[in-house]
Structure formats: C-alpha cells, structure tokens
C-alpha cells in the first residue's frame, strides 16, 4: 500500500499554489522562470506564466475537493467564486486582490 499522507499536506500544497499564482499575477519570479528562461523575451510569457499557475491552483483545489479537504478558508469569498468558475478571465487578473487600490502583494 501507499504511504500515509499527513493531514496538512494538501493545505500546504494549496498555500504554495496560491502564492505561486499571486507571484505570477504580480510578475514576480517563480519556478516557471527557471524552467523557461528564454520565454521572458516573448510578449505572451506573462500570460502563459499566469495560466500555468492558475492551472496548478485549480488542480490542487480539485484534489482538495475530491479528498474532502477544507480549502475555501484560504481565500476570500470573491476568490472562491473565481476558483469555482474555473475560468481565468481578465476579471480574475484585475480583481484577485479585491481592488487594485488595496492590493496585498505577496513577498
């Protein structure tokens, strides 16, 4: 049989995926930059980087849902709504941090 998964494993992965997405939104360095350094020269780079981070976040949320791991408390209600809609629209990009005036940028 498989290895026992600690209870907080998916919560940790969820937080990592959230930070990764928020860093991509803020155009900060992520692991993606290290994987594809040549992409920085292409105009579509930041869109693709955000798409990859969004896909990762949705995947971890999907696993949390399937395993009945609480995930919603890690996000604002507006962010939960975006995640449940699954589509990364310009609204998600513009308003993930609630309003552009009160953005909480990740470190």
Residue 1 has pLDDT above 80, yes or no: no
Residues across the chain: 107
- Decide: pTM greater than 0.85: no
In this predicted model, which residue has the larger pLDDT, 38 or 12? 12
Q: So where are the chain's domains?
A: 9-98
- Tokens read off for 12: 């940790």
Q: What share of the chain is helix, strand, coil (3-state, %, to 5)?
A: 65, 0, 35
pLDDT (tens digit per residue) in 71-85: 999 999 999 999 999
Residue 103 has pLDDT above 70, yes or no: no
pLDDT of residue 45: 83
Residue 101 has pLDDT above 80, yes or no: no
* Helix and strand element counts for the chain (H, E): 5, 0
pLDDT of residue 102: 47
pLDDT (tens digit per residue) in 18-67: 999 999 999 888 888 887 777 778 878 888 889 999 999 999 999 999 99
């Amino acid at each position: 049989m498989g290895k026992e998964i600690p209870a907080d494993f998916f919560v940790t992965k969820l937080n990592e995926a959230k930070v990764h997405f928020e860093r991509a939104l803020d155009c900060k360095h992520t692991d993606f930059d290290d994987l594809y350094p040549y992409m920085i020269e292409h105009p579509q780079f930041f869109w693709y980087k955000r798409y990859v981070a969004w896909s990762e976040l949705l995947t971890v949320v999907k696993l949390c849902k399937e395993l009945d791991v609480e995930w919603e408390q890690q996000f604002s209600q507006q962010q939960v709504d975006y995640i449940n809609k699954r589509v990364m629209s310009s609204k998600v990009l513009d308003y993930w941090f609630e309003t552009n005036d009160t953005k909480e940028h990740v470190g």
